[in-house]
Amino acid sequence: MSASWLNKVHWDEQGLVPAIAQDAQTGEVLMFAWMNREALELTATRMEAVYWSRSRRKLWHKGEESGHTQKVREIRIDCDADVVLLKIEQIGGIACHTGRRSCFFSRLDADAGWVEVDPVLKDPAEIYRKP
């Protein structure tokens, strides 16, 4: 596949585009991250999610440490070509580094503020053991 399709993406000033990872079966939004041109091209080639880590300033193959990779089933772009949607299969059922299924585990409560409403499925200390 020619990489000319990448030229249609509207990259921001840092050369990044927002990427949403959505469960291909349920439609649940699991996480949000950033992609640069190389990350999106690698994702399309491998059909596994690769993102750009702004804090580490490097490519990040989702699951490289945790084993919780994202098999990409479909890649879409929005009408303005400035947001990427990845329809994925979340391997291991955990997308969040906190050990939860989704990064969107807090809900706003009018009285209590942000409340964590989804359980931790696996202790992050077990997921990210250092050798």
Per-residue pLDDT for 131 more than 60? no
Instruction: Provide the pLDDT for residue 45.
Output: 97
Which residue bears the tokens 């503020």? Answer: 113
Q: Where are the alpha helices (DSSP H) in 5-76?
A: 37-46
| Class for the domain spanning 3-127 | alpha beta
- For residue 3, what pLDDT band results from cuts at 50, 70 and 90? confident
Hey, what are 28's tokens?
């649940």
Helix, strand, coil distribution of the chain in percent, nearest 5: 20, 35, 45
Instruction: Provide the pLDDT for residue 128.
Output: 86
Question: Using alpha carbons only, what angle is made at residue 65 by residues 59 and 71, rounded to the nearest 5 degrees?
Answer: 70
> 42-93, pLDDT tens digit by residue?
999 999 999 999 999 999 999 998 999 999 999 999 999 999 999 999 999 9
